[in-house]
């Protein structure tokens, strides 16, 4: 067959599109207004591709269980975990974290676990919601 790709292209026309239209089908005329509507519940965004069970997303830190043993700092490959001397707790910079969840495995009281939130983008890399306290 001269062009074996032609049959693919034609058969693709009658199939359901493979795209998962994430925030919305096309650009809203004003994104800020669209995001306010979504916040207020008037508009609905199409959800992203759902994450599997133990997906490695934004890290969650259970402050009470932490005993300040600093094992996670010893094992973190990106120096993303800072130790706070006075209250014997840790502070994790998400801008440095490489989401390897090695700290979860080493933590004796397993107070660290990986959430599944992954839409993390911000204008300032050390902003409040990018530091897990």
In this chain, which of 68, 77, 91, 133 binds other proteins, going by CB under 8 A? 77
Choose one: 59-67, 83-91, 111-119; the region binding other proteins (CB under 8 A).
111-119
- Give the shortest CB-28-to-other proteins separation in angstroms: 9
Look up tokens 């300040």; give the residue: 68
Determine if 71 is a binding residue for other proteins (CB under 8 A): yes
In this chain, which of 37, 43, 89, 93 binds other proteins, going by CB under 8 A? 93
Assign 82 to helix, strand or coil: strand
15/22 Cα distance (integer angstroms):
19
Determine if 39 is a binding residue for other proteins (CB under 8 A): no
Determine if 37 is a binding residue for other proteins (CB under 8 A): no
Structure tokens, 102 = 């090695």
76/81 Cα distance (integer angstroms):
7
Determine if 48 is a binding residue for other proteins (CB under 8 A): yes
Q: How many residues bind other proteins (CB under 8 A)?
A: 60
Looking at residue 83, the DSSP 8-state letter turns out to be E
64/122 Cα distance (integer angstroms):
28
């Amino acid at each position: 067959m001269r062009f074996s790709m032609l049959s693919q292209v034609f058969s693709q026309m009658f199939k359901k599109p493979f795209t998962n239209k994430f925030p919305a089908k096309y650009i809203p005329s004003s994104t800020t207004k669209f995001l306010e509507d979504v916040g207020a519940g008037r508009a609905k965004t199409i959800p992203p591709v759902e994450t599997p069970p133990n997906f490695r997303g934004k890290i969650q830190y259970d402050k009470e269980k932490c005993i300040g043993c600093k094992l996670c700092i010893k094992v973190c490959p990106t120096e993303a975990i800072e130790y706070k001397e006075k209250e014997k707790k840790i502070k994790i910079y998400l801008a440095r974290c490489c989401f390897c969840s090695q700290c979860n495995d080493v933590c004796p009281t397993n107070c660290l676990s990986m959430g599944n939130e992954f839409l993390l983008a911000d204008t300032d890399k050390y902003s409040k919601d990018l530091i897990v306290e």
